[in-house]
Amino acid sequence: MAEDRAIRLTAANTSISFVVRWLGALTVRGRFTNLEGLLRIPDGCVEAAGITIDVETASLRTGITLRDRHLRGPRFLDAARHPLISFRSTRIERPNSILVASGRLMLHGQEHALSAICPLDYASGAGLQSLVRIGAEFSVLRSVYGIGAARGLRALNPLLRAIGDEVSIHAELLVPATQLLPALLPALGH
């Protein structure tokens, strides 16, 4: 009988980055530096697994301090009123050896359903000595979560129109293979 696995998610083993279009052709890239969560795999069964993660909105970094303050401010993420971005899985599936995580994303005071394809591969090493990379790719629409939505005269601000509505998110978790076995062998092609 397999044992329950609980893998703590921190900035040391998990990264969350984003890309958004700016002025149509340019891109703004950023990341969040503070997060915590948990990946549970009960009895080694991936389909019964669950993931929770909380990301501090104030930890947003794009490499430009002024832009970071603006994005954390009341017109966008409003980190003072909404200090966390949270995801809680409701279902993990493994169709054709591909993981799909579905759950609820709480962002900017709004909660909506979200599904992400989660590819797995080896990050380094081989066999039991390897690190396994679990990724997740998904997009969110700023307008759905009320981020950067202006009313009244502020709606005429061209800056708000210059930033794309779709934000692409990439999350990545690095885990020693021994913490995932035998649950993820089929997803890794074994």
Domains of the chain: 5-188 (2.40.128.110)
| Sequential pLDDT tens for the chain (190 residues) | 556 788 999 999 999 999 998 776 789 999 999 999 999 988 777 778 899 999 999 999 999 999 999 999 988 899 999 999 999 999 998 877 678 999 999 999 999 999 999 888 877 777 667 788 889 999 999 889 888 766 665 556 666 667 778 999 999 999 887 777 666 555 555 4
- Name the DSSP class of 154: G
pTM (predicted TM-score): 0.84
Check: CB of residue 46 under 8 Å from CB of residue 187.
yes
Distance, CA of 118 to CA of 136 (rounded, Å): 4
Range list of β-strands (E), the chain: 5-10, 14-22, 26-32, 35-41, 50-56, 60-61, 84-93, 99-107, 110-118, 120-124, 131-141, 163-176
Q: State residue 190's pLDDT score.
A: 47
